[in-house]
Chains A and B, each alone.
Chain A
Amino acid sequence: MSNQWFIKGVKKGILTEGFPQLPPEKPPLRPSLLIGSSNFKCPVGALDENKWNPEKCIFCDKCSMEMHFTGDQKLFKINRKMNAFKRSLYIYIIDSGTCGACNAELFNIFSPQYDANRYGIFLTNTPRNADVLVLMGVETEGMKSVLEETYESMPEPKCVVKMGTCAIGGAGIGSKISSLEPDALIYGCPPSPYTILEALIELKGDKP
């Protein structure tokens, strides 16, 4: 009986998909790269002078008459590659004011379909062991000092990733965003596991 789970696990075989070497098997339509131009009055101001701004976009589909979702999951921007973390990257998460969807998607990169561990990406329970601080959600009063203390207690070298529209552009929710300078931005509301995984691999200077 004690080894029943081991046998059940082995019987299932390898369930991990070929992404990112192969294209995503089931990319979501939203969020994905948006193309086109539109005069539509975006409810969160993500269309500035007809140009799409992924930092503010909540992928609500309201502009889809003129704009087009491509399904492309490359929705991130790396400001500084962290080659020091090429072999392993330990993530500490701060939820400063999310709806919970970003949190769930970040945990999803460790599900068998994506298996982020194979790229040396791990979660850590303490900022003392962390290489990267993943910040999710709008800045809230109660979490402001927690965020500052967490960042201060991380060892050098360290980096910051802002994940999700709330953390990057506020997502139209009536609160502020953190002033921490990000080394990477992962767009989406919430970003899909494909986007998060590829962004973290690229951040650590690894090849997919």
Chain B
Amino acid sequence: MRYYKFNVRDGYYIGETRQFSIYEKGMIRRDEPLERLQIIPKINDKNHFNFQYGPATGGLIESLDFKIITNGEAIKGIVVNPYVKSRTMRCLNKTIDECLLLVERINGYHSASHSIAFLSAVEDALNIDIAEGTYYGRIVILELERIRSHLLVLKRMCEPAGFGVPMYQLSYINEIITRIISDISGHRYFYSTNKLNRVDVDFGLLSSYIQTLIKIKREFENIFNGLLESKIFINRLQGNGLIKDDPLIGPAARAAGFKRDARSNISILPYKELNFEPIIFNEGDSFGRFYIRGLEISQSFDLCINALERAEQSEYNYSNNFSGEGAARLESPSGDLFYYVNIDNGLIKDIQMSSPSYLNLKSFIKSAINTIFTDFHFNFESFGIWVSEVGVEFI
């Protein structure tokens, strides 16, 4: 394994797979089961009662089961069951290509991140060098995915504030990005786009969209600046869901002042060649997470356009009967995403994944204590949690 070492607790904490605790540069075998995602008030106040929210509710994109312990207004405790819609993926003893079809359906909205992280782990196991054009092609699609994902988060944060106009304007931009993705890859969510050492994208066609991307970036910045000027909106976010201590990854960590970004601290993709520097802010509340995402959208437009110059399609004919084990991590729009694979004669013997949403959910419940329920949605959406990637079992 080129990127990871066993039994090394080095760097910041990334998350958990089925058997390992993952850190920035190493992984440690875990013997205990995962701790439950819950905070229960220490004092048993008879005025507290439980309020069931979800799993099926119009307020959330996905099914998620919350038991909120409240005194009527403030949230005093939360018990979350993120496994309510847990899916099983039949990946074991399958070929890389068969497994890839399932991996890219773990989180459809971050499909490019999942497939590239998985393929990078496989390429690590294969010990092969990837063509430079493929590296840059992967950066292009990862940044397009980040733009769309961050746009969705900002749009979802406008909704509970009743800010219909910016919400629909962000939806409009989101749909334009999705259509560009569809035009260049044939699919609106990058399904079947990533292969071993190959990105099936028409980079020439994407070059013809550069002026459109620049125009959309300007349009987005107008909406974002308008939201920053709106005191009514900002008041709902500032001080809401404040969290400045671990476990934090992704935009939530960067909003709280931590320089944590897999794009800058791993060598799996050549972000350094594009002079990438993570954007850091010093507010760990919903506003900080909103602000970081807004700035990262503009940054991702620039990264995408710069990487496009060096992106190209490559071919790699791999043998079907290789064996090895590999691990890789990359920065998905919600934070660090990690994959470990063990391959025997071309078949998957073991696959483990650590999703950023698990840690983000853990941080969210910590940050939600003592907030009021009307602030709940702003706070929840600001973490960009996708339940689909939390409860996945590989069989």
Binding site for B on A (CB under 8 A): 1, 4-6, 8-9, 12, 15, 26, 28-30, 43-44, 58-62, 69, 92-105, 107-108, 110-113, 123-126, 137-138, 140-143, 146, 150, 171-175, 189-190, 192-193
Q: Which 10 A-B pairs have the closest CB atoms?
A: A101-B108, A125-B58, A99-B108, A142-B84, A111-B171, A174-B90, A5-B165, A9-B165, A28-B182, A29-B186
Is B111's beta carbon under 8 Å from chain A? yes
Q: Contacts A29-B186, A30-B187, A175-B88 hold; do A146 and B108 have CB atoms under 8 A apart?
A: no
The proximity string for B residues 90-111 relative to A, scoring 1 for CB distances below 8 Å and 0 otherwise, is 1000000110011001111101
15 contacts between A and B (CB under 8 A): A5-B166, A29-B182, A58-B191, A60-B101, A92-B58, A93-B58, A99-B106, A99-B108, A100-B107, A101-B111, A112-B171, A113-B175, A138-B87, A141-B86, A146-B84
- Smallest distance from the beta carbon of A146 to chain B beta carbons, Å? 5
The proximity string for B residues 160-179 relative to A, scoring 1 for CB distances below 8 Å and 0 otherwise, is 00011110110110110011
B388 contact set on A, CB distance < 8 A: 98-100
Interface of B is mostly: mixed
Contact A111 B192 (CB under 8 A): no
Contact A143 B85 (CB under 8 A): yes
- Smallest distance from the beta carbon of A96 to chain B beta carbons, Å? 6
User: Which of B59-67, B124-132, B261-269, B281-289 lies on the face that meets chain A?
Assistant: B59-67
Is B56's beta carbon under 8 Å from chain A? yes
- A5, A141, A171, A173, most chain B CB atoms within 10 A: A5
Q: Which of A6, A126, A172 contacts B101 (CB 8 A)?
A: A172
Is B386's beta carbon under 8 Å from chain A? yes
Contact A173 B89 (CB under 8 A): yes
Number of interface residues of B (CB under 8 A): 56
- Smallest distance from the beta carbon of B84 to chain A beta carbons, Å? 4
Q: How far is the CA of A124 from the CA of B56 in the complex (A)?
A: 12
Q: How far is the CA of A108 from the CA of B186 in the complex (A)?
A: 18
Contact B108 A104 (CB under 8 A): yes
Q: Contacts A5-B165, A143-B63 hold; do A172 and B226 have CB atoms under 8 A apart?
A: no
